[in-house]
């Protein structure tokens, strides 16, 4: 690690009253969580987003299979 960067991290850790290692570990974990969250979110663009919005606003009628399933299953709310 570049000595200037290491010093910067050490100073930040000291401001929080923690060690370089604890600070660096926490920063790594937080960044890993951000990356995982970003990659777990589905983004729709263009036509896909428009089509999804239409289906949410005006959903199609349920199919016969769905009607049969709903009629035979107990649904608890």
- Residue 37 class from Cβ within 10 Å (0-12 exposed, 13-18 middle, 19+ buried)? exposed
Residues 6+ apart with CB under 8 A from 52: 44
Please give the distance of CA 67 from its chain centroid, rounded to a whole number: 33
Is the pLDDT confidence value at 6 over 90? yes
Over the stretch 18-54, which tens digit does the pLDDT of each residue have?
999 999 999 999 999 999 998 888 888 889 989 999 9
Contacts 24+ apart (CB under 8 A), 6-15: none
Q: What is the mean pLDDT of residues 9-17?
A: 96
> pTM for this one?
0.52
How far apart CA 13 and CA 17 sit, in angstroms, is: 6
């Amino acid at each position: 690690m570049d000595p200037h960067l290491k010093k910067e991290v050490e100073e930040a850790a000291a401001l929080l009253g923690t060690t370089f290692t604890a600070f660096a570990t926490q920063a790594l974990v937080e960044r890993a969580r951000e990356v995982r969250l970003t990659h777990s979110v589905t983004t729709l663009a263009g036509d896909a987003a428009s089509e999804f919005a239409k289906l949410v606003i005006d959903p199609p009628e349920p199919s016969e299979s769905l009607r049969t399933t709903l009629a035979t299953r107990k649904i608890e709310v």
